[in-house]
Structure 1
């Protein structure tokens, strides 16, 4: 396949209105949950992403038929005919591990491999496996291959960290398990709530999603449903950060402002005018920005780790200095080297990064180190003098639906070249 790149001409303010796509971090667990259903499922506002296509290939392998058109994914579920997922399919994306719980729960035994995706440092699945063992699973691991079997039963589970992936996997395993499962110190992210609402629409009994204790009462079966995927809060944060950094005035439609409070508060600290009304966020940015003093990533409702790179790029030309502290992932500063190549002044020390604002960034050739790192370079390119070429777009395409088209609609000078 020919390699593509984005060519960005910096220095153009953004103006206009855009609608936000469905959430990548929600739709992928929803697609895993289809394994639990014994009827057809339709997902509306389904984003056209490479990760979504990878998940649909897994479902097709397992016995479903998937079709996608105009933001609607239809999954014909005639029954799960396989209980193993090939290694190559598992390696296409990190979130493939969310097939673990539902496949074991539905079939009683399954074989999977450790997943792939962005390299953000260790994201061990120990919590997933420990929870499934407590629910009655027998697990054998050999050279990255996982074999699981057993009839799952509900129990009380205590997570040492509010892991989103572990919370999702346990929820997916528990909906068909015998008895009641309680997840303590559960993740509180909005995507957890969206998964619970989808499962409830299919007949599951779940309460507490969005709090630190999720309660699941097992049921005999799940039917199908038609469900609308929640809006992508990180995509919304990306375009808000881009508008803040480039200057201008934008309206983000079809989003959930309450889910973005931590991000919009930082943008206000930077001098942007931010107004929220129902499902819209209005942002006005008059350059230069002013640096927020301190940003620390935390589990929801704290500042999201997925937005750290975005706000770092927006801070590169802000007046003053901002200290970032990354508490979730070990390797989430991989975008820093290319920002420095563009002229940014960033000092790293372990999990901390200090950004000192500079007068200008200069366009050059940079690459997407991972999904959000790629979005950060996109934002930096919009603010840089001259031309920026962004390569390795496979990372960006995992989470953003036609980013160049969206930005062009706001007045950016950007095109994709193959």
Structure 2
């Protein structure tokens, strides 16, 4: 998956083959869109000449937002069609039993009550279909700001190249975003293990989800029994749901951080104008040459502002704190009961470090790279809090966002834990002082 938001970036076509386009070149028909070329006519005639748009012409009527989610859904499911397997009754039973056992173990290591109201086993296709509402809420504001920034930054000469199709750019952008999102979802659905692995609860409220086909593939590469791997993942899913069910502000804070980033998306108009001037000086932009047009895309890449960097740091810290808390309570719950816990936990850490679903998803959406160092430091905070102050004090930090460690606190996690004890002692001393103050 690309780590450039919404696929901005130069083409990787071979320049030597520019005059010999292959079947994969210019998949969205940008050459025809921007230049018209020979035989240019009405928009409907353009559509009839474009292989992709000819098949998806009915989707041009999409009016549901900046991302064509119908196309995204169809693209993801199409990519999964050959490899997805239906969920068997036996798999549903095994997952339900693992999640129930996981909840019993977690009851002994955290004061947060269970958040599991029902257990679900999804196929890869079901994961795509069932999580789309949450993805829509997350991605639409980003795509909307990207389109607005691009439109506002393009010079008049660039807009003039669109000619009679200028009014269709919103629909074309929706198709382009929908195609990219669908491709990303297809890949993600092929490896996602649980309903909360990306760091956000994507399933309906109270639903604990495992994807048995992906769990089986994950377990196949490990030297542990399949039921042990399934129970380990059930512990992680059930622990995550406890947080999201009983920390009411958490989900909204995560979404707010993403949307705060979206509100700051801008494109440097001066950079575009300089790029156009350079292009004109080196031979100009050929509207009929997709390679020429794609050289404009790096100029359209949004700039990152200080406000966006703050939003990303807040999002990164929250995700690390959620993941670190899950690591800590799962380790406490598994204890000696799950012989392979240490190896499985290390496998998950390596999965994150090499770019797991959470990192890939947010890198694609907002350019966020989840640093494993942050996750380890967050787990250190939660483990040390439980050891030094008890699980009740550890979980009390989730009662208000201002009580949580900041990004700076994670630089010195043990200092943060030590300060919690000092704060308790100061409060106790204050409570013991006489009304006329200390002598």
TM-score bracket for the superposition, by shorter chain length:
under 0.3
TM-score (norm. length: structure 1) = 0.23
Q: Which has the higher strand share?
A: 1
TM-score (norm. length: structure 2) = 0.23
Q: Which has the higher helix share?
A: 2
